[in-house]
Amino acid sequence: MKLKLDKTLSLVAIGVVSALQGVQAAPVYEIKNIEDFDLNGTIESTRNGYGMFVNGNNESVGVSKGKKKLSVSDDDDDGVIDIEDGIAPEEQIIYSIDLPIVANNFTFTSDENGASGAWIPTFESVFGTTPPKDSDPDVPETINSIDAYYYGISTAGVKVGAYTAPEQTVEYTGSNEDQEYWYYREFEERGFVKLADGTEVPLLPPITEYYSEDEDVTVTVGGMSIAAAINEHNVVAGYASTELSSTSIDRIESCITGETYPIDICVQREQYPNSSGYRNIVYQTRAYVWDVDNAQGIELPLGLESESETVFTAQGLGINVDGIVAGRSHVYRNGNTDKLAYDAAYWKKDSDGDYQYHWIPMKDDQRYSIAYDINDNGILVGSYNQYLDGYPRDKFFYFDTNNPDEGFVTPHDFFETISDRASRPKDINNLNQVVGYIEVTADKEKPRVKAGFLFDKDKDEFSDLNTLLTCGSKGYEQDAEGEWVRNRVEVEDGSGDTLSYESEIRIVEANSIGEDGTIVGTAFIRKPSYQFDSDGNLIIGDNGLPLFEIDGNGDPVTAFIPRMVVLQPSSTGEACPVEENDNSGNGNYERKGAASLGALLLLPLLWLRRRVKR
């Protein structure tokens, strides 16, 4: 069930799955961080959690996003309430030189033998970050201004990721009344390594400053670097800025000569994204490797040679034990300068020990591609983007770097031909097992529901992880007759009424798989939604509890929130036999309604600044 794409893709309209998981050959999985049908999947006082990577010792790292502390609407109570369950409006991150910088991303660890319990997320400070639970809006020094991310951890416990500089201030001289400071930081993204003993090592990019010859002034611009992956020899793969673009230099020169803002504040303003998401200061970016033991960095070659001032980019995202780096780079396909693409690539040392760039050949109708990871067998996984049935879709592929002439292979997923279900791999272990996510509904015009997948390359077996779970891991329990029914959660709201809703857990992304089959990723868990006033404050009842949103039947309105999830093969359980035809992505994979599931599609699948490796 696979097709090499040196043949023409031919798709048919697919309405039903042919023989989905016809025989249960894949392992049965249990969710290990579940307690009373709830997920211990984020750190205290945060809403969302994401599992990023698991190493050979079943130690994992993750990222929490979104603080839960919200002001209450009761005029007699100027405190805060910590919503332990439920959906709250996402706190907007406002990029402004006129406002204090407030972090919204926090690093955590979680492991099978954790001091607080198995797989309990535990906040871990990076470069002085503070726990979100300790933030007090009335005590500015407790508010964390450093955003931090973990992307990987080696078996030796060495972690890699990225962080931002802390907030700094400049005395305000503008026209806003009551404003005391302008706010800025020295850099927006910097890769780092955290050793097992707690030592933190920043990975500096080649450019952190700009010198103006005309004005004889040196300006801190910060640059950018990301540590995305680490292997067992303490070699880190990632990417870093190497020089400023010409237009960025013009912007900085204007900051130096301008009179509206101090130089540092002007530079910060130009580095923040505008309303369209673009930044005025950009860099040439190249794939990089760093040797942790001697702190040396090596720039990897770009996929093309050019003396133009065009901004080109290359990124290292995964690395194996031999130091082969997987990622992507701008390239002129087949040397044709009319066919610039941003394509999957890998970098491998030659006989002289120098890294050489290798393109993974794509066809003209494949718009772009990316490689996320590579295992110690040399099997690389990635995805390409192509119009399928009239819509641009990502499709998962694998590629054997030891036999590059064979080309890449696009596995079939749930069907007898390559479907138009978008899919992306995120990790591959040394047993050639791949995890990632795939779309499991067939809407053409609407966003599609996603599910985590497990693909066994050697068996050519593709599975929706939700079909491999035990019933208890999906939110079911057995009734008095032994039938599996969804667990009902009872909650009291601000009116004093006791309301109930059904438990539901769905795996929406698998980010990493260990050699023993342990998987970490992201699951959605169903929670009730709260009522907020026009100012965005919780509406509190007379009993001091917040009021839930109620539907026409008097039941609480629910939605899905993302939480870190840990899966391990079950030695005793069986895959849940309950057939689900309720738009869950299981059963016949045909959507059946339930508009609330649109929330599944809003999962911020954690960007491309990520990848982690042993």
What is the model's pTM? 0.89
Contact 266, 231 (CB under 8 A): no
Q: Minimal CA–CA distance to 28: which of 586, 576, 461? A: 576
CB 531 within 8 A of CB 539: yes
User: Residue 24: what are its φ and ψ, rounded to 5°?
Assistant: -75, 80
The amino acid that residue 38 corresponds to is D
Q: What is the pLDDT of residue 91?
A: 56
Taking the CA atoms of residue 242, residue 243, residue 248 and residue 252 in that order, the dihedral angle to the nearest 10 degrees is 110
> CA-based Rg of the chain, rounded to a whole angstrom?
25
Place of tokens 């798709």: 11
Q: In what order do the strands lie in the sheet with 200-203?
A: 148-153, 159-163, 190-194, 200-203
Domain map (residue ranges) of the chain: 2-72+81-602
Measuring CA to CA, which residue among 192, 262, 181, 246 is closest to residue 224?
192
Q: What is the pLDDT of residue 544?
A: 87
Give the span between the Cα atoms of 364 and 437, in whole angstroms: 25
Q: Would you give the DSSP letter of residue 426?
A: E
Angle at 200 between CA 199 and CA 203, to 5 degrees: 140
The 10s digit of each residue's pLDDT in 75-105 is 444 455 666 666 665 556 788 999 999 999 9
* Letter string b/e over residues 125-135, b meaning 16 or more CB atoms within 10 A of that residue's CB: bbeebbbbeeb
pLDDT at 23: 43
Q: Are strands 105-111 and 122-123 parallel, antiparallel or unpaired?
A: antiparallel
Q: How far apart are CA 408 and CA 4, in angstroms?
A: 6
Identify any residues that bridge with 343 across adjacent strands, giving them in sequence order: 329
Q: How many CB atoms lie within 10 A of CB 16?
A: 12
- Which conformational region is residue 471 in: left (phi greater than 0), alpha (psi within -120 to 50 degrees), or beta? alpha
Q: Which residues of the chain have pLDDT under 70?
A: 1-25, 68-92, 295, 581-614
Cα separation of 225 and 206, whole Å? 9
Specify the length of the chain in residues. Answer: 614
pLDDT at 581: 61
Dihedral, CA atoms, 494, 496, 498, 500, nearest 10 degrees? -20
